[in-house]
C-alpha cells in the first residue's frame, strides 16, 4: 500500500511541471542599428617602440636589442625588507597609470628594490623625463633623479 501512496504523491508533485514550462525560451538579441554601431570607437595607446617593431615586422627588417651605457630616471629605492617590494610595484603601477610613455623597470639588487623609467642615450633626454614625472606626480619629487645605467636599445 505504501508504494502506491508514494507513486501517487510523485505523480501529483510532477503534474504542474510540463516540458514547456521547464525550459525557458532563449532571448534573441537585436543587432544595433548601423548608426549606433559606427559611433563605437576603440582607442589603442602604445609606445612608439611597439609601433616601430610592428612596422619592422611588416617590412621584414630585423633589429637587435643591444645593451649600452645610458641613463634612466629613478623614482624609488629602498632596502626595507618588509615593505620595499610592495612599494616598488605600487610606484610602478602609478607610473603606468599616469600616462608616462616610457618603459618602467622594477629592479632588485640585494638588498635594494628600485624603480627606474626609460632607456635614454643622453642625460638631457633623461632630465626631460624627470621633469615630466615631477609634473605628473609631484609627490615623487624628492625621490626622483637621473642615474647612469645599462639601457636596452634597438639597433
List domains and CATH numbers for the chain: 69-154 (3.30.70.1070)
Q: Is the pTM of this model over 0.75?
A: no
Residue carrying the nine cell digits 525550459: 23
Average predicted confidence (pLDDT) for the chain: 82
pLDDT for 79: 94
Q: Would you say 126 and 116 are in contact if contact means Cβ atoms under 8 Å apart?
A: no
Which residue from 119, 70, 126, 74 is spatially nearest to 95, judged by alpha carbons?
A: 74
> Terminus-to-terminus CA distance in the chain, angstroms?
91
Question: Which pLDDT tens digit goes with each residue over 77-133?
Answer: 999 989 999 999 999 999 999 989 899 999 999 999 999 999 999 999 999 999 999
| Number of other CB atoms surrounding residue 70 within 10 Å | 19
Which residue from 142, 100, 9, 22 is spatially nearest to 92, judged by alpha carbons?
A: 100
C-alpha span between 59 and 63 (Å, rounded): 11
pLDDT band of 18, cuts 50, 70, 90:
low
C-alpha span between 83 and 67 (Å, rounded): 31
Amino acid at each position: 500500500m505504501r508504494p502506491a501512496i508514494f507513486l501517487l504523491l510523485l505523480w501529483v508533485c510532477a503534474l504542474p511541471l510540463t516540458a514547456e514550462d521547464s525550459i525557458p525560451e532563449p532571448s534573441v538579441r537585436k543587432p544595433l542599428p548601423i548608426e549606433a554601431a559606427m559611433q563605437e570607437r576603440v582607442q589603442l595607446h602604445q609606445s612608439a617602440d611597439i609601433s616601430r617593431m610592428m612596422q619592422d615586422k611588416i617590412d621584414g627588417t630585423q633589429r637587435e636589442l643591444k645593451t649600452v651605457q645610458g641613463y634612466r630616471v629613478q623614482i624609488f629605492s629602498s632596502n626595507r625588507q618588509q615593505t620595499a617590494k610592495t612599494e616598488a610595484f605600487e610606484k610602478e603601477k602609478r607610473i603606468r597609470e599616469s600616462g608616462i610613455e616610457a618603459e618602467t623597470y622594477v629592479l632588485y639588487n640585494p638588498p635594494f628594490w628600485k624603480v627606474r623609467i626609460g632607456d635614454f642615450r643622453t642625460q638631457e633626454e633623461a632630465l626631460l623625463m624627470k621633469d615630466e614625472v615631477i609634473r605628473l606626480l609631484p609627490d615623487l619629487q624628492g625621490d626622483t633623479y637621473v642615474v647612469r645605467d645599462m639601457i636596452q636599445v634597438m639597433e
